Structure 1
Amino acid sequence: MDTVGWVLLGVVLLGVLLAALATSRTRTLTGRVGSFDCAVRHPGRTSGALTPGVAHYGVGRLDWWRVRSLSPRPASTWQRSELRVVDREPVGPHSEHLLVHCWYSGEPLELEMSSAAYAGLTSWLEAAPPREHGIVA
Protein backbone atom coordinates (compact mmCIF):
# COMPACT_ATOMS: atom_id res chain seq x y z
CA MET A 1 0.00 0.00 0.00
CA ASP A 2 1.35 3.43 -0.92
CA THR A 3 1.32 6.61 1.19
CA VAL A 4 -1.99 7.86 -0.21
CA GLY A 5 -3.64 4.54 0.69
CA TRP A 6 -2.39 4.74 4.30
CA VAL A 7 -3.60 8.33 4.61
CA LEU A 8 -7.05 7.39 3.28
CA LEU A 9 -7.21 4.41 5.64
CA GLY A 10 -6.29 6.69 8.55
CA VAL A 11 -8.99 9.21 7.59
CA VAL A 12 -11.62 6.45 7.34
CA LEU A 13 -10.60 4.99 10.72
CA LEU A 14 -10.67 8.44 12.30
CA GLY A 15 -14.18 9.00 10.88
CA VAL A 16 -15.39 5.67 12.27
CA LEU A 17 -13.90 6.48 15.68
CA LEU A 18 -15.54 9.91 15.78
CA ALA A 19 -18.91 8.43 14.76
CA ALA A 20 -18.62 5.81 17.51
CA LEU A 21 -17.76 8.48 20.10
CA ALA A 22 -20.69 10.66 19.02
CA THR A 23 -23.11 7.73 19.18
CA SER A 24 -21.84 6.70 22.62
CA ARG A 25 -22.12 10.27 23.93
CA THR A 26 -25.68 10.67 22.65
CA ARG A 27 -26.77 7.34 24.14
CA THR A 28 -25.19 8.22 27.46
CA LEU A 29 -26.89 11.64 27.60
CA THR A 30 -30.34 10.42 26.56
CA GLY A 31 -30.19 7.37 28.83
CA ARG A 32 -29.73 9.33 32.05
CA VAL A 33 -32.63 9.74 34.45
CA GLY A 34 -33.87 13.33 34.23
CA SER A 35 -32.84 13.83 30.60
CA PHE A 36 -35.12 14.93 27.76
CA ASP A 37 -34.83 16.13 24.17
CA CYS A 38 -34.79 19.91 24.08
CA ALA A 39 -33.97 22.26 21.22
CA VAL A 40 -32.78 25.76 22.15
CA ARG A 41 -32.66 29.25 20.67
CA HIS A 42 -30.12 31.02 22.86
CA PRO A 43 -30.64 34.36 24.59
CA GLY A 44 -30.37 37.39 22.36
CA ARG A 45 -31.12 35.51 19.14
CA THR A 46 -34.57 36.46 17.93
CA SER A 47 -34.41 34.48 14.70
CA GLY A 48 -32.77 31.42 13.28
CA ALA A 49 -33.20 27.74 13.78
CA LEU A 50 -33.40 26.05 17.13
CA THR A 51 -30.33 23.97 18.00
CA PRO A 52 -31.17 20.34 18.86
CA GLY A 53 -29.91 19.01 22.15
CA VAL A 54 -30.49 17.09 25.35
CA ALA A 55 -31.33 18.75 28.66
CA HIS A 56 -30.73 17.22 32.08
CA TYR A 57 -31.93 18.30 35.52
CA GLY A 58 -29.14 18.99 37.98
CA VAL A 59 -29.24 20.23 41.55
CA GLY A 60 -30.74 23.70 41.12
CA ARG A 61 -29.86 23.93 37.45
CA LEU A 62 -30.77 22.69 33.99
CA ASP A 63 -27.81 21.56 31.88
CA TRP A 64 -28.05 21.39 28.08
CA TRP A 65 -25.80 19.58 25.61
CA ARG A 66 -25.76 20.00 21.83
CA VAL A 67 -26.55 16.81 19.96
CA ARG A 68 -23.86 17.47 17.35
CA SER A 69 -20.85 17.82 19.60
CA LEU A 70 -18.23 15.67 21.27
CA SER A 71 -17.85 17.93 24.30
CA PRO A 72 -18.32 16.19 27.65
CA ARG A 73 -19.44 19.48 29.22
CA PRO A 74 -22.85 21.10 28.77
CA ALA A 75 -23.05 23.88 26.19
CA SER A 76 -25.39 25.86 28.47
CA THR A 77 -26.42 25.77 32.10
CA TRP A 78 -29.43 27.64 33.46
CA GLN A 79 -29.90 28.16 37.20
CA ARG A 80 -33.40 27.29 38.39
CA SER A 81 -33.68 30.52 40.37
CA GLU A 82 -33.09 32.62 37.21
CA LEU A 83 -35.30 30.68 34.79
CA ARG A 84 -38.82 31.98 34.15
CA VAL A 85 -41.38 30.32 31.90
CA VAL A 86 -43.50 33.02 30.28
CA ASP A 87 -45.61 31.25 27.67
CA ARG A 88 -45.89 28.18 25.49
CA GLU A 89 -47.37 27.43 22.09
CA PRO A 90 -47.72 24.31 19.95
CA VAL A 91 -45.01 23.91 17.34
CA GLY A 92 -47.54 22.78 14.73
CA PRO A 93 -51.22 21.95 14.46
CA HIS A 94 -50.69 18.20 14.95
CA SER A 95 -47.50 18.26 16.99
CA GLU A 96 -47.08 17.19 20.59
CA HIS A 97 -44.09 19.51 20.88
CA LEU A 98 -44.26 22.94 22.45
CA LEU A 99 -42.23 26.08 21.91
CA VAL A 100 -41.65 27.37 25.44
CA HIS A 101 -40.88 31.08 25.81
CA CYS A 102 -38.69 31.78 28.84
CA TRP A 103 -36.62 34.53 30.38
CA TYR A 104 -33.22 33.72 31.79
CA SER A 105 -31.34 36.46 33.65
CA GLY A 106 -33.35 39.13 31.85
CA GLU A 107 -32.87 37.74 28.33
CA PRO A 108 -35.31 35.76 26.15
CA LEU A 109 -34.75 32.03 25.77
CA GLU A 110 -36.79 29.61 23.67
CA LEU A 111 -36.97 25.88 24.29
CA GLU A 112 -38.72 23.27 22.17
CA MET A 113 -39.74 20.09 23.94
CA SER A 114 -42.50 17.51 24.18
CA SER A 115 -45.57 18.31 26.23
CA ALA A 116 -44.49 15.66 28.76
CA ALA A 117 -41.07 17.31 29.09
CA TYR A 118 -42.81 20.67 29.57
CA ALA A 119 -44.89 19.22 32.41
CA GLY A 120 -41.67 17.97 34.01
CA LEU A 121 -39.95 21.34 33.57
CA THR A 122 -42.78 23.31 35.16
CA SER A 123 -43.03 20.82 38.04
CA TRP A 124 -39.29 21.09 38.60
CA LEU A 125 -39.47 24.90 38.63
CA GLU A 126 -42.43 24.96 41.03
CA ALA A 127 -40.83 22.43 43.38
CA ALA A 128 -37.87 24.70 44.11
CA PRO A 129 -37.25 25.92 47.65
CA PRO A 130 -38.99 29.28 48.28
CA ARG A 131 -35.87 31.40 47.80
CA GLU A 132 -34.92 29.60 44.58
CA HIS A 133 -38.40 29.38 43.11
CA GLY A 134 -38.50 29.70 39.31
CA ILE A 135 -41.64 31.28 37.95
CA VAL A 136 -44.17 29.62 35.69
CA ALA A 137 -46.69 32.07 34.25
Structure 2
Amino acid sequence: MAWWEWLLDICGALLLGCVLYGAGLIVRRRLLARNGGTFELSHRLRRDVPERGWTLGLGRYSGERLEWFRVFTLSPRPKRSWSRDELQYDGRRAPVGAERASLYPDHLVISCESADGPVELAMSVSSLTGFQAWLEAKPPGTDWSRAKGGEH
Protein backbone atom coordinates (compact mmCIF):
# COMPACT_ATOMS: atom_id res chain seq x y z
CA MET A 1 0.00 0.00 0.00
CA ALA A 2 1.16 3.49 -0.78
CA TRP A 3 1.66 6.05 2.01
CA TRP A 4 -1.42 8.02 0.99
CA GLU A 5 -3.58 4.87 1.27
CA TRP A 6 -2.31 4.42 4.85
CA LEU A 7 -3.14 8.06 5.52
CA LEU A 8 -6.67 7.60 4.16
CA ASP A 9 -7.15 4.47 6.29
CA ILE A 10 -5.98 6.31 9.41
CA CYS A 11 -8.25 9.28 8.67
CA GLY A 12 -11.18 6.94 8.07
CA ALA A 13 -10.54 5.12 11.34
CA LEU A 14 -10.33 8.42 13.25
CA LEU A 15 -13.56 9.63 11.66
CA LEU A 16 -15.30 6.36 12.51
CA GLY A 17 -14.03 6.64 16.10
CA CYS A 18 -15.43 10.19 16.40
CA VAL A 19 -18.80 9.12 15.01
CA LEU A 20 -18.99 6.14 17.41
CA TYR A 21 -18.00 8.34 20.36
CA GLY A 22 -20.71 10.89 19.44
CA ALA A 23 -23.30 8.14 19.08
CA GLY A 24 -22.23 6.74 22.45
CA LEU A 25 -22.72 10.14 24.10
CA ILE A 26 -26.22 10.43 22.61
CA VAL A 27 -27.21 6.93 23.74
CA ARG A 28 -25.80 7.55 27.23
CA ARG A 29 -27.72 10.81 27.60
CA ARG A 30 -30.95 9.12 26.48
CA LEU A 31 -30.40 6.32 29.01
CA LEU A 32 -29.74 8.78 31.82
CA ALA A 33 -32.86 10.79 30.94
CA ARG A 34 -35.21 7.84 30.45
CA ASN A 35 -36.64 8.09 34.00
CA GLY A 36 -36.92 11.87 33.89
CA GLY A 37 -35.51 14.30 36.40
CA THR A 38 -32.38 15.18 34.39
CA PHE A 39 -31.26 18.74 33.72
CA GLU A 40 -28.17 20.67 32.63
CA LEU A 41 -25.97 21.07 35.71
CA SER A 42 -22.39 22.28 35.79
CA HIS A 43 -20.13 21.67 38.78
CA ARG A 44 -17.04 23.54 39.86
CA LEU A 45 -14.47 20.83 40.48
CA ARG A 46 -11.47 23.08 41.17
CA ARG A 47 -11.76 26.10 43.42
CA ASP A 48 -8.09 27.10 43.53
CA VAL A 49 -8.36 29.62 40.65
CA PRO A 50 -11.19 32.19 40.76
CA GLU A 51 -13.76 31.87 37.95
CA ARG A 52 -12.17 28.63 36.72
CA GLY A 53 -12.63 24.90 37.29
CA TRP A 54 -16.14 24.46 35.85
CA THR A 55 -17.14 21.22 34.13
CA LEU A 56 -20.33 20.88 32.10
CA GLY A 57 -22.63 18.09 33.11
CA LEU A 58 -26.07 16.69 33.74
CA GLY A 59 -27.89 16.45 37.02
CA ARG A 60 -30.36 13.73 37.93
CA TYR A 61 -32.52 13.28 40.99
CA SER A 62 -32.36 9.71 42.18
CA GLY A 63 -34.45 9.28 45.31
CA GLU A 64 -32.68 11.09 48.13
CA ARG A 65 -29.59 11.88 46.03
CA LEU A 66 -28.60 14.44 43.43
CA GLU A 67 -26.25 12.78 40.96
CA TRP A 68 -23.92 14.70 38.68
CA PHE A 69 -22.63 13.24 35.40
CA ARG A 70 -19.96 14.76 33.17
CA VAL A 71 -21.20 15.54 29.67
CA PHE A 72 -18.26 14.26 27.62
CA THR A 73 -17.74 10.80 29.08
CA LEU A 74 -19.26 7.44 28.27
CA SER A 75 -19.40 6.31 31.91
CA PRO A 76 -22.90 5.44 33.08
CA ARG A 77 -21.97 6.24 36.70
CA PRO A 78 -22.24 9.66 38.31
CA LYS A 79 -18.97 11.48 38.95
CA ARG A 80 -20.38 13.13 42.10
CA SER A 81 -23.41 12.54 44.26
CA TRP A 82 -24.92 14.49 47.16
CA SER A 83 -27.50 13.34 49.67
CA ARG A 84 -30.50 15.63 50.11
CA ASP A 85 -30.17 15.82 53.89
CA GLU A 86 -26.47 16.76 53.68
CA LEU A 87 -26.89 19.55 51.10
CA GLN A 88 -27.90 23.06 52.11
CA TYR A 89 -28.66 25.91 49.69
CA ASP A 90 -26.74 29.10 50.54
CA GLY A 91 -27.52 31.45 47.64
CA ARG A 92 -27.10 32.29 43.99
CA ARG A 93 -25.27 34.78 41.79
CA ALA A 94 -24.73 35.56 38.14
CA PRO A 95 -21.59 34.14 36.48
CA VAL A 96 -18.71 36.61 36.29
CA GLY A 97 -15.71 36.93 33.99
CA ALA A 98 -14.49 33.64 32.56
CA GLU A 99 -17.44 31.78 34.09
CA ARG A 100 -19.76 33.26 31.46
CA ALA A 101 -17.81 31.46 28.72
CA SER A 102 -17.48 28.22 30.72
CA LEU A 103 -21.13 27.67 31.59
CA TYR A 104 -24.35 27.10 29.68
CA PRO A 105 -26.07 30.35 28.65
CA ASP A 106 -28.52 31.83 31.19
CA HIS A 107 -27.26 29.68 34.06
CA LEU A 108 -26.83 30.94 37.61
CA VAL A 109 -24.06 29.93 40.02
CA ILE A 110 -25.51 28.23 43.09
CA SER A 111 -23.64 28.04 46.39
CA CYS A 112 -24.37 25.10 48.66
CA GLU A 113 -22.87 23.61 51.76
CA SER A 114 -22.38 19.85 52.07
CA ALA A 115 -20.84 17.52 54.61
CA ASP A 116 -17.63 17.66 52.53
CA GLY A 117 -17.52 21.47 52.39
CA PRO A 118 -18.71 24.13 49.94
CA VAL A 119 -20.23 23.08 46.62
CA GLU A 120 -20.75 25.33 43.61
CA LEU A 121 -23.22 24.31 40.93
CA ALA A 122 -24.60 26.16 37.91
CA MET A 123 -28.10 25.67 36.59
CA SER A 124 -30.97 27.49 34.89
CA VAL A 125 -33.56 29.45 36.86
CA SER A 126 -36.22 26.78 36.24
CA SER A 127 -33.83 24.04 37.37
CA LEU A 128 -33.06 26.09 40.49
CA THR A 129 -36.77 26.17 41.32
CA GLY A 130 -36.90 22.38 41.04
CA PHE A 131 -33.69 22.03 43.06
CA GLN A 132 -35.04 24.17 45.89
CA ALA A 133 -38.32 22.24 45.88
CA TRP A 134 -36.39 18.94 45.97
CA LEU A 135 -34.32 20.17 48.93
CA GLU A 136 -37.39 21.31 50.84
CA ALA A 137 -39.46 18.20 50.11
CA LYS A 138 -37.88 16.02 52.74
CA PRO A 139 -39.65 12.71 53.36
CA PRO A 140 -41.98 12.10 56.32
CA GLY A 141 -40.12 11.50 59.57
CA THR A 142 -37.32 13.92 58.73
CA ASP A 143 -35.84 15.61 61.77
CA TRP A 144 -36.42 19.22 60.67
CA SER A 145 -34.59 20.63 63.70
CA ARG A 146 -31.42 18.71 62.73
CA ALA A 147 -31.72 19.87 59.12
CA LYS A 148 -31.79 23.52 60.26
CA GLY A 149 -28.67 23.23 62.39
CA GLY A 150 -30.28 21.94 65.58
CA GLU A 151 -32.46 25.00 66.31
CA HIS A 152 -35.71 24.34 68.17
TM-score norm. by structure 1 comes to 0.80
Structure 1 match to 2:137: 127
Give the C-alpha shift of residue 25 in structure 1. 1.9
In structure 2, distance between residues paired with 1:31 and 1:90: 31
Task: Provide the aligned C-alpha RMSD in A.
Answer: 2.6
Amino acid at match of 1:55: G
User: Which runs of no fewer than 5 residues in structure 2 stay unpaired?
Assistant: 97-104
Is this contact kept in 2: 1:126–1:134, CA < 8 A? no
Q: How does 1:34-45 map to 2 (within 5 A)?
A: 34-42=37-45, 45=47
Give the C-alpha shift of residue 36 in structure 1. 0.9
User: Which runs of no fewer than 5 residues in structure 1 stay unpaired?
Assistant: none
Match of 1:59 among 42, 60, 63: 63
Q: Does 1:20 align with 2:23?
A: yes
Match of 2:75 among 50, 71, 78: 71
Is this contact kept in 1: 2:38–2:59, CA < 8 A? yes
Is this contact kept in 1: 2:88–2:113, CA < 8 A? yes
Q: Which moved more, 1:107-116 or 1:30-39?
A: 30-39
In terms of fraction of residues, the more strand-rich structure is 1
Is this contact kept in 2: 1:80–1:134, CA < 8 A? no
Amino acid at match of 2:124: S
Q: Does 1:108 align with 2:118?
A: yes
In structure 2, distance between residues paired with 1:28 and 1:91: 30
CA distances 1:11-59 after superposition (whole Å, capped 9, x unpaired)? 32222211211122234435641111111113x6243132111000011
Answer with 1 or 2: which has the greater Rg. Answer: 2
Q: How does 1:2-13 map to 2 (within 5 A)?
A: 4=6, 5-13=8-16
Pairs aligned (count): 132
TM-score norm. by structure 2 comes to 0.73
Is this contact kept in 2: 1:86–1:101, CA < 8 A? yes
Structure 1 match to 2:101: none
Report 1 or 2 for greater relative contact order, CA contacts < 8 Å, sequence distance ≥ 6: 1
